[in-house]
Amino acid sequence: MQATCVAISIVPGNRRVDHIYQADKTSLQRNHLRISYQMALSRYRSLVGLERISWVTWGITIVTVAIWCFTASQAAVGAGAHTLLAIITDIAQNAITVQDKDNNALADVLLTYGAKDNGLILQGQYWRFVMPIFLHVNLLHVGLNMLNFVVLGVFLERLLGHARLLLIYLITGIISIITSCIFTPQDISVGASGAIFGLVGAYCMFVLLHRHAFRNGGVPALLWLVFIIGLNLGIGLFIPNVDNYAHIGGLLAGFLLGWWFTPLYKPALSPSSAEDTAFVDMHSLARRWPLALVTVVGTFVLAACVVHYMGR
């Protein structure tokens, strides 16, 4: 009886110890996530010189705007404008809505310089999986996309670094074009919005991974991001000629790449002392370059499979 009583009295104690241990472990993990979140946000402050500048974001923006200026002027010339004033006037007239008289000339120019067109892709013009990301229809189109990209890109480039931002932007942009090829094969598509949705998806995954660093488990922040995504996708349902399939494809690709490559700092024992704890980014490209290589190769394989599917 005494032995039985002792056994009974010990078990609750073990349970209490296990509960305390689990609570301490959970608290420690949440504290590590808070540290990871703060380190990711403040990483760029330790950089110097050009490393602190979001040159990938600004470079993509400048190139995209320059390409639009060129294609817009070429479309104006194709529509019959032959002087500088006439070209500027034509571009201004099409700034918000493309005029019917200029629609064919603009379509011809965009097709010439790389718009997504399934028929031309099947002819071997595979560069059309990339080039549509840098083409835009008119001033409103390029202005809204680049405004969103600069606001989001500068922040994310500080968070991710130059290489990871470029990787996520290009891969999600290409996958958005692949998605468009599958679900809207009859449409000609251009625009960076699929890649921008990809960046939004990557940031959503960063917030999800660090949700315990936010108030209320990150639920308000995640709900706000869901609202923003839903609002933008909803707008696409009411505005004509918006390729929502490309947006969804870029967004889903962004979720996946965000899970793989957005910063996640975890503690590692310092070689000098077991008591000192250093935090390292487990998702850095220096550590995950094999996965980055697989991602790039996998994207090309996916494009090849889609081309094969379209050619059946």
Active site residues: 193, 247
Going by C-beta distance under 8 Å and a sequence separation of 6 or more, which residues neighbour residue 30? Answer: 212, 213
Backbone angles phi, psi at 210, to 5 degrees: -110, 25
DSSP classification of residue 211: G
DSSP classification of residue 265: E
Choose among 110, 281, 278, 269: nearest CA to 190.
Answer: 110
Query: Cβ atoms within 10 A of the Cβ of 133, count?
Result: 28
CB-based burial label for 293 (10 Å; 0-12, 13-18, 19+): exposed
Rg over alpha carbons for the chain, rounded to the nearest Å, is: 25
Cα separation, 3 vs 250, whole angstroms? 65
- E-strand spans in the chain? 265-270, 273-281
Tokens of 178: 């692949």
Cα separation, 1 vs 230, whole angstroms? 65
Going by C-beta distance under 8 Å and a sequence separation of 6 or more, which residues neighbour residue 299? Answer: 171, 174, 175
DSSP classification of residue 189: B
Cα separation, 200 vs 213, whole angstroms? 19
What is 59-126 written as a DSSP string? Answer: HHHHHHHHHHHHHHHHHHHHTT--SHHHHHHHHHHTSSS--HHHHHHHHHHHHHTT-B-HHHHHTT-G
